[in-house]
Amino acid sequence: MIDPNVLGALADVVGADALIARPGETRVYECDGWTMARQVPDVVVLPRTGEQAAAVVRVLHRHGVRFVPRGAGTGLSGGCLPLDAPVMICTSRLNRIVEIDLINRRAVVEAGVVNLAVTRAVAAHGLLYAPDPSSQSACTIGGNVAENSGGPHTLKYGVTTNHVLAVELVLPDGEVVELGGAMEDVPGYDLRGLVVGSEGTFGLMTRATLRLVREPEAWRTLLGVFETVSDASNAVSGIIGAGIVPAALEMMDRLIVEAVEAAFHFGFPTDAGAVLIVELDGAAAEMDPQMRDVIDVCRTHGAREVRVAEDEAQRAALWKSRKRAFGAVGRLAPNYCTQDGVVPRTKLPDILRTISAVGERHRLRIANVFHAGDGNIHPILLYDERDADEVRRVIAAGQEILRACVDLGGSITGEHGIGVEKVGELPLIFSPQDLLVMQQLRGVFDPDQRANPGKIFPTPGACVEVSKPRRQVPV
């Protein structure tokens, strides 16, 4: 348990009402969206300002205490699991939009601001914040930066790193540094770029300066219905191959369509093998000719039906269904584990065949909903955590799928990060020398490995009890 002196010093900084230390209350923070492993923190600290956050980190530095940063806990790789770190610093009260600069199209926000709140704050001015993870109504900018998050519209607009100009970071010794800057091109090493995607292992981010983009003049959104996932995958390659770059290109297979339809009643055909959501955006004059090309490609690859959203309400309903697809999965099984891998787009049919074969071999149901345009797959492995053998099969199946991604020329994560989940898979894509250099780099920011220990790279002494079956839902 945490030293009472440390607890006292933390209370002096943030006030007792910003500390959560009662076992019943800390349990809420035992995991993120990857529920395979759980660990309750000794204490959760909720600073209200960047200054308080820095003072908290200085207290921890003085006492040699490890900590884990947490945003909203929507991560899907166990990134904010308090592994060998008694203190969790949660940014939910760092939720102010500090400045909106409309002329220069920038926003300065605190780390705990929810992703969607940024777009909501600037929408009246015809601007938006482009990275839009499907969790955007809950996840924070700090979590997005730490994971370099993507989303449906990052096919055209790029991932988080393309939209972050600067970050304010509290280093693990409490020093506050500003990396990057408000200008578009800051000379010197791109330390801002290093922090994006560092999964909380360089310290605690307290602020970010974000790039805003203009809302496109027009949209067209299409639902393509296919008999097989193979046809839908070939249509994905066909669309990009035709020189069209949609704003978003998403796929859902039959199992997920059934769950989403039961939850939201959009009118998805539940007998289809797969559906594609294709969104175009840009100048109004370009929309109809481009959409005709997309429809042609879909039909060439066997689409049995194409539906273009007739108005904004239909478009919004379609996206609502897609973005809440993970939530609908609760209808299919008590538990699920979302995998995240990448393959070259043209290899989508191969990886989807492999996923299906892996599912059969391990006697598991696997649903697929993913950013097809990026080749970023998200097989969702359904299970019941009360069945220890099934949990083991889920873990083995996930590892096989990731290995297959690498064999097809892809990678072990597209956007959810390494966290705890994929520490063992890192050597599939990096040599021992690569890993050594990355750890040396981490040591520049965090020589004592006190920020988010046990993540990305194994830390000696850290221990994670993966797959300890524990009842999660009432029966």
**Cβ proximity to ligand FAD, 146 vs 276, nearer residue:** 146
**Cβ proximity to ligand FAD, 31 vs 408, nearer residue:** 31
Handedness of CA 83, 413, 449, 181 (dihedral sign): negative
Chain positions contacting ligand FAD, by CB under 6 A? 32-33, 68-76, 79-80, 91, 111, 133-135, 139-140, 142-144, 146-147, 149-151, 199-200, 204-205, 326, 415-416, 452
As measured in angstroms, the least distance from the Cβ of 145 to ligand FAD is 7
**Cβ proximity to ligand FAD, 113 vs 303, nearer residue:** 113
As measured in angstroms, the least distance from the Cβ of 308 to ligand FAD is 24
As measured in angstroms, the least distance from the Cβ of 294 to ligand FAD is 22
Q: Which residue is nearest to ligand FAD (CB)?
A: 143
Reduce the DSSP state of residue 256 to 3 states and report it: helix
Amino acid identity at 350: D
**Cβ proximity to ligand FAD, 80 vs 405, nearer residue:** 80
Residues in a beta bridge with 204: 170
Q: Rounded to an integer, what distance in angstroms lies between the CA atom of residue 81 and that of residue 170?
A: 20
**Cβ proximity to ligand FAD, 137 vs 228, nearer residue:** 137
Reduce the DSSP state of residue 409 to 3 states and report it: coil
Reduce the DSSP state of residue 358 to 3 states and report it: helix
As measured in angstroms, the least distance from the Cβ of 169 to ligand FAD is 8
As measured in angstroms, the least distance from the Cβ of 291 to ligand FAD is 24
As measured in angstroms, the least distance from the Cβ of 317 to ligand FAD is 18
Structure tokens that stand for 336 in this block: 């699920």
Q: What is the distance between the terminal CA atoms of the chain, rounded to a whole angstrom?
A: 33
Q: 50 phi and psi, to 5 degrees?
A: -60, -40
**Cβ proximity to ligand FAD, 76 vs 223, nearer residue:** 76
**Cβ proximity to ligand FAD, 78 vs 273, nearer residue:** 78
As measured in angstroms, the least distance from the Cβ of 389 to ligand FAD is 26
Handedness of CA 161, 162, 164, 165 (dihedral sign): positive
**Cβ proximity to ligand FAD, 115 vs 290, nearer residue:** 115
As measured in angstroms, the least distance from the Cβ of 77 to ligand FAD is 8
As measured in angstroms, the least distance from the Cβ of 305 to ligand FAD is 26
DSSP strands (E only) in 73-193: 87-90, 97-101, 106-110, 127-128, 164-170, 176-180
As measured in angstroms, the least distance from the Cβ of 142 to ligand FAD is 3
**Cβ proximity to ligand FAD, 273 vs 454, nearer residue:** 454
**Cβ proximity to ligand FAD, 147 vs 279, nearer residue:** 147
Q: Which long-range contacts (CB under 8 A, 24 or more apart) does 283-291 make?
A: 283/217, 283/218, 284/217, 284/218, 287/218, 287/219, 287/220, 288/220, 290/220, 290/244, 291/220, 291/222
Give yes or no for a contact between 347 and 409, defined as CB atoms under 8 angstroms apart: yes
Q: 74 phi and psi, to 5 degrees?
A: -90, 0
Angle between helix axes 348-361 and 229-241 (nearest 10 degrees) is 160
Amino acid identity at 30: E
As measured in angstroms, the least distance from the Cβ of 267 to ligand FAD is 22
Q: Rounded to an integer, what distance in angstroms lies between the CA atom of residue 351 and that of residue 313?
A: 34
**Cβ proximity to ligand FAD, 228 vs 439, nearer residue:** 439
Q: Which of 422, 346, 341, 416 is nearest to 376 (CA)?
A: 341
